Amino acid sequence: MSRTPHLPRLATAAVLALGIAAGPMPLAAQPQTQPPTQAPVTGSLSGTAFVEQAGTSGLFEIEAAKLARDKSRSSAIRAFADEMIKDHQAMAADLKAATGQARGEFTLPGLITPTQQTLMDRLTAEPKGAGFDRLYVETQIQAHRAAVGIFTAYASDGDQTALRAFAERYVPLLQTHLDHALALKG
């Protein structure tokens, strides 16, 4: 079986992951069109890398949602935040179970990445109100675009059967989260 047909999906996932790693731009500085994509990446995402990215993504979603639940004045955003906490806690438990079924040793991350911490710092510093809501929704859009790309690529071309099944199971939910965040943006 050739892995070549999956390279466009993997490249998309890599570009999205790089986009979230770069962090969101201030809302006023964001272009109205999509930025150009970077050079495609070859090869497949390892199980270890997938577990790290999926784990830190989930931790970030939970932490950001807890903050949004406290800082947002919008009932729709608070409801979305509650959904993120519930769904990403369930995903974290399922990821732990999948790593137990996969071949090899996997360590679930216990902390978000430095880039994600920078995003959390920006969210924390933003005063309550419309500015916070816009920033939170924008980070959710970026984070879920990246997650959908990474999970889709791993589901198609991952190196661990149990982790591929986990990724495949959660792509639709992550896409639903992305669609919900886009609807909140209006």
Judge whether residue 145 has pLDDT over 70: yes
Nearest to 3 by CA among 41, 53, 39: 41
66-114: pLDDT as tens digits:
999 999 999 999 999 999 999 999 999 999 999 999 998 999 999 999 9
Q: Which CATH class is domain 48-105+135-186?
A: mainly alpha
Q: End-to-end CA distance of the chain: give it in Å, rounded.
A: 43
State the pLDDT at residue 37: 30
Residue 132 near residue 72 (C-beta atoms within 8 A): yes
Among candidate residues 170, 143, 145, 167, the one with its CA nearest the CA of residue 156? 167
pLDDT per residue as tens digits for the range 13-62: 433 443 444 443 333 333 333 322 323 333 478 999 999 999 999 999 99
